[in-house]
């Protein structure tokens, strides 16, 4: 049993080291999440090396835009009918916790069709990246994903300022709980 505990501690420690190196990406850089200025979000995302734990930050005027997380099929057709999640605070931070493609667009009529959409891809392995045609954003079904409230968005913003230290505290808490539960 002690070897299992050590293995868990080592795995958690490895995850903490990996997540503490997470990057924060502001979608669109200085332009932000907008339809003004012809921002090419595909070009913006292309050179980036997204990793697990990275934070994708959408900054926008909430009176004119939002962010919807959608499936690949919805992304291709700009279908806003059943998003996996909808964000509306104007300053939304989303932590990437799964590999694969993560599809986002603005749900305001006409915005997605005019290019306000982005595909954040975290490769499934280092040697080859999957093709997006067979993938969906790896989340629970839309029926169980409530839209984040402003309180949840504020909590995410509080965490982003602390970066790795918040993740380290979380990991240490998990390790302490695992060790005390097995004692």
For position 21, what pLDDT does the model report? 79
Give the integer Cα–Cα distance in Å for 41 and 54: 17
Percent of the chain with pLDDT over 90: 55
Is 17 contained in some domain?
Answer: no
Provide, rounded to the nearest whole percent, the portion of the chain with pLDDT above 70. 57
Query: What mean pLDDT comes out for the span 10-37?
Result: 77
> Where residue 70 sits, what CATH number does that domain have?
2.60.40.420
Q: Is the pLDDT of residue 128 over 80?
A: no
Instruction: Print burial letters for 31-43: b (CB count within 10 Å at least 16), e (below 16).
Output: bbbbbeeebebee
In a domain, 57, yes or no: yes
Q: Which domain holds residue 92?
A: 22-162
pTM for the model: 0.62
Distance CA 74, CA 62 (A): 22
Distance CA 172, CA 137 (A): 29
pLDDT digits (tens, 9 = 90+) for 44-59: 999 999 999 999 999 9
- Domain count for the chain: 1
Averaged pLDDT, 92-110? 97
CB atoms within 10 A of CB 106: 26
Is 9:38 a contact under the CB 8 Å cutoff? no
**Residue 144: other Cβ atoms inside 10 A:** 8
162-180 per-position pLDDT tens digit:
444 445 555 555 555 555 5
Residue 15 falls inside a structural domain = no
């Amino acid at each position: 049993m002690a070897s299992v505990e050590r293995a868990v501690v080592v795995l958690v420690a490895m995850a903490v080291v990996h997540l503490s190196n997470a990057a924060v990406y502001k979608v669109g850089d200085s332009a932000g999440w907008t339809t003004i200025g012809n921002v090419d979000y595909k070009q913006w995302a292309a050179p980036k090396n997204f990793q697990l734990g990275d934070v994708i930050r959408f900054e926008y005027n909430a009176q004119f835009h939002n962010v919807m997380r959608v499936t690949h099929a919805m992304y291709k057709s700009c279908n806003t009918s059943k998003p996996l999640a909808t964000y509306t605070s104007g300053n939304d931070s989303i932590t990437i916790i799964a590999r694969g493609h993560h599809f986002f667009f603005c749900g305001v009529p006409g915005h997605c069709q005019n290019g306000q959409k982005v595909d954040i891809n975290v490769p499934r392995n280092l040697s080859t990246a999957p093709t997006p045609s067979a993938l969906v954003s790896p989340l629970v079904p839309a029926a169980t994903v409530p839209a984040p409230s402003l309180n949840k968005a504020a909590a995410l913003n509080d965490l982003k300022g602390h970066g790795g230290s918040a993740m380290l505290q979380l990991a240490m808490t998990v390790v302490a709980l695992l060790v005390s539960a097995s004692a």
